[in-house]
A and B are shown apart, each in its own frame.
Chain A
Amino acid sequence: GAGVSQSPRYKVAKRGQDVALRCDPISGHVSLFWYQQALGQGPEFLTYFQNEAQLDKSGLPSDRFFAERPEGSVSTLKIQRTQQEDSAVYLCASSYPWGAGANVLTFGAGSRLTVL
């Protein structure tokens, strides 16, 4: 497609439920990033893939957060046993091979998660 597509756009979960957020990157973009953005804050890095390899997951806040990209295209961010502090917008971004940062990221519109 023309841009990065994220679904669902809005998700309301009860505390303790599991959620899955999907990201469809731009075709041909081998690098994929997930960010978390709390209200009024800048995006915070969660994890980074190059093709199907997860090269950096240092930003995942706990072992309840898990991301995968099994075929090097679509990615899913899964949050188990959601807590209220998980409420945020989850942003996905993709690019050509990231490397030294000469390329640019294209972001999706985000998935807004509200945990009650």
Chain B
Amino acid sequence: DAKTTQPNSMESNEEEPVHLPCNHSTISGTDYIHWYRQLPSQGPEYVIHGLTSNVNNRMASLAIAEDRKSSTLILHRATLRDAAVYYCIRSYGKLTFGQGTILTVHP
């Protein structure tokens, strides 16, 4: 099973950090963990991905558990433009999207 488990929804306040969790307990050693987000009426947008080590880029940070069975996407300071559906995906060959987490950001 290539799917991951994420909370259906989360809420945050503007300028606060957001931690979006993801469980992928059946991940294999060669699967990358990808995060994409989708704003209304747009295609998914790449956020970050990693294999074993924690990763940082200009958009976010990705913290991967030592056993790789879970990961957390960290938005350091949420803005209203970060309100979107966030998808955590194992790269099991093709990317298999689940339902994602709907992130609401309050002003």
Contact = CB atoms under 8 A, between A and B. Distances in A.
Interface of A: 4, 33, 35, 41-45, 48, 56, 91, 93, 98, 100-102, 104-110
A3 B27 CA distance: 31
Main secondary structure of the interface of A (DSSP, over half): loop
B96 A109 contact: no
10 contacts: A45-B94, A45-B96, A56-B93, A56-B94, A91-B44, A93-B43, A104-B49, A106-B46, A107-B43, A110-B43
Contact of A42 (B49, B91, B93, B97): B97
Interface residues of B, number: 25
Given A44-B97, A102-B51, A102-B91, 18 more contacts: A33-B94, A41-B99, A42-B100, A43-B44, A45-B96, A56-B93, A93-B44, A98-B94, A100-B91, A101-B49, A101-B93, A101-B95, A102-B49, A107-B45, A109-B41, A109-B42, A109-B43, A110-B42
